Amino acid sequence: MTKAEQPGTGKIFVDILQAIILALVVNVVIYFLFVVPSQVDGPSMLPNLHDKDLLFADKVIQWLGQTQVGASLDYNYKRGDIIIFDEAEISLVKRIIAAPGDTIKFENDKIYMNDKVITEKYIPEGVPTHLPSGNLALLAEGESLNIPENNYFVMGDNRTNSKDSRFKDIGLIPRERIKGRVFIRFWPLEKFGLIQRGDYTEQ
């Protein structure tokens, strides 16, 4: 290439600027169409998520999960998922404990799912799960509750300090109020990483 044919500084600058703009546009599209940012507010998800943790949630599952494509990929909300949902004009972060079709019961500080005691591996061993006292509770001790279609029973991992579906004024969470499934924590940097579905056993 002769000197006359070499690209000028101006053209190189334009090419770099175009690449930066394209990258920004792609990131904006991803941000608004595919992910939901959120911040943990308070101690209700301890010890797994902490106050002020910043999260991204997968938004695609919200509209693809109930389609044939979602079914073929086994891609939908499930027990153990951490979700973000709207509650009284704020966003809350909780974990799905019971999904549509499940029957949940609380008895002797244990959770019964479909008549089996569940042991949640994502919370410290031996932590009891109490129901709120009096008329604050959604259901009574020993009472079974069947989760209807398009609804979810959610709780915080910090069972002694979480306002969740156990409370009558929160109750079951309709699917249309869910914003997405948490899949990554991006702040603080030392805790950066993927958020997996919570594991549990039944007996």
CA distance 165 to 139: 10
The span from the CA of 94 to the CA of 148, in Å, is 19
Whole-angstrom distance, CA of residue 99 vs CA of residue 18: 46
Catalytic pick among 44, 59, 105, 179? 44
Active site residue 179: no
Cα distance between the two ends of the chain: 75
- State the Cα–Cα distance between residues 87 and 164, nearest whole angstrom: 10
- Check 38, 59, 94, 165 and give the catalytic one: 94
191 is catalytic: no
Identify residue 116 by its one-letter amino acid code. Answer: K
Residue 129 burial (10 A CB sphere; 0-12, 13-18, 19+): middle
Residue type, 160: T
Q: Please identify every residue annotated as catalytic.
A: 44, 94
